[in-house]
Amino acid sequence: MTVVTRFAPSPTGRLHVGNIRTALHNSLFALKHDGRFLLRIDDTDLERSKEEYVEAIVTDLNWLGLKAHAMVRQSERFALYEREFDRLRAAGRVYACYETSEELDLRRKVLLGRGLPPVYERKAEGSPVPEGIAPHWRFKLDHDAPIEWDDLVRGHQKFDPRLISDPVIRRADGSWLYLLPSVIDDIDLGITHIVRGEDHVSNSAVQLQMFDALGARHPHFAHEALLVAAEGKLSKRLGSTGVDALRDAGIEPMALLSLLARLGTSQPVEPKTGLAVLAEGFDFATFGRAPAHFDLNEVEQLNAKLLHHLDYCEVANRLPEEVGEAEWLALRGNLAHLGEAADWLAVLNGAIDPPEVVQDDKPLLAEAARLAGELDWAGDPWRELTDALKASTGRKGRGLFHPLRSALTGRDSGPEMGPLIKLIGQQRSIDRLVAAAN
């Protein structure tokens, strides 16, 4: 069996981290099993679906490296849904209903008041049909067929269909709701594993009977605990966790994906440089059932760790031209975001404003300027300069290193000075030391 998974977003907004996690896990599972990962655009709601969001979803997934083997749109598959709907109707598994939402709400309250489950009550066959009212359509559950499956995350699941309302699958205006088209697509596309949030568990229970009614084999299900943040359940309203915002903030895709691949599992979270490495250790058996807590601070930490180990060839096309391999190796250990490399260009080969220097440090910097002119810059000028200054001034530790760093870079902290001073160059270093001393 070839593993086939799918990610099925609705194009009614931008992707957020909860969506990304679902897409990632579908992609990783398919990758691990040398299978296929499909993108299905759930755009049956023609009024709310926007082409700009379709384009944004594809752009975001491509930026993340989660490229699907194929993409389909539900809006282009209405003929297939119609055909399967007619087949279910002929088999007696779909029936028309005429109640208004107000009537249904009132009936639910009556049932609850009697201590009964608020399950939809089917009308007797031959009940009068109201005139001038278009029906909505429900799928008829088989009350004699218990619903069970072994979930890859939640373990054995069991539902009593008598306690579930026959779900509405089609509105009175002919438009489709989520449940039936999704099943029809999963059958037609050969989906073998459905990976999604635990808020879909009850949907899966209903959809299993739809697979049966259509004579199709059941897919495997993995219902993951939901992702939560400080604000609560993640949703599209949390723009701060959208893909576009994360990209604009300078987050590396693999920093985000490294966290989302392991969040909620018993595995350690470590920065990885590629999806193949993440896929090797991906296993639904490691996922717990407690909500997974997403923290942007963890992404930031992973982002820095990832940058600190990236080779120049992996980032060269995203760096300023002035930053070559030597510059990258000198700077990367001090960067939290790739864009910060450009902030160091003036330090490396431009002009900086002389720092404010306390009077006691000026003789030290003047002596450093004199010694810098005598050093062989082809060797290890930073070590030689500091060793000479220790001998001539008696200074050491912060009292020695901080004034030098400040004079040479205009900053109180930064990358290691050994490689940095060689990139700054001898004459520029002397000039900066002289300027600071005066």
Binding annotation for ATP? 236
266-269 long-range contacts (CB < 8 A, ≥24 apart) are: 269/298, 269/302
Beta pairing, strands 147-151 & 94-97: unpaired
Q: Is-contact 217 188, C-beta < 8 A?
A: no
Give the residue carrying structure tokens 């539900």: 74
Which tokens sit at 393?
A: 């001034």
Residue 127, classed as helix, strand or coil, is coil
Provide DSSP, 81-108.
HHHHHHHHHHTTSEEEE---HHHHHHHH
Tokens of 421: 């001073």
Residues 43, 75 contacting (CB under 8 angstroms): yes
Structure tokens at 169: 């699958």
Question: Distance of CA 88 to CAs 44, 204, 340, Å?
Answer: 20, 18, 59
Question: Binding site residues, as ranges?
Answer: 236
- Measured between alpha carbons, how far is 150 from 81 in angstroms, rounded to an integer? 28
CA 96 distance to own-chain centroid: 41
Phi, psi of 139 (to 5 degrees): -90, 130
- Cα separation, 61 vs 252, whole angstroms: 13
Cβ pair 417, 383 in contact under 8 A:
no
Q: Cα(223)–Cα(196) distance, rounded to whole angstroms?
A: 5
Distance in angstroms (rounded) separating the CA atoms of residues 272 and 217: 36
User: Which neighbouring-strand residues pair with 391?
Assistant: none
Q: What CA–CA distance (Å, rounded) separates 375 from 295?
A: 49
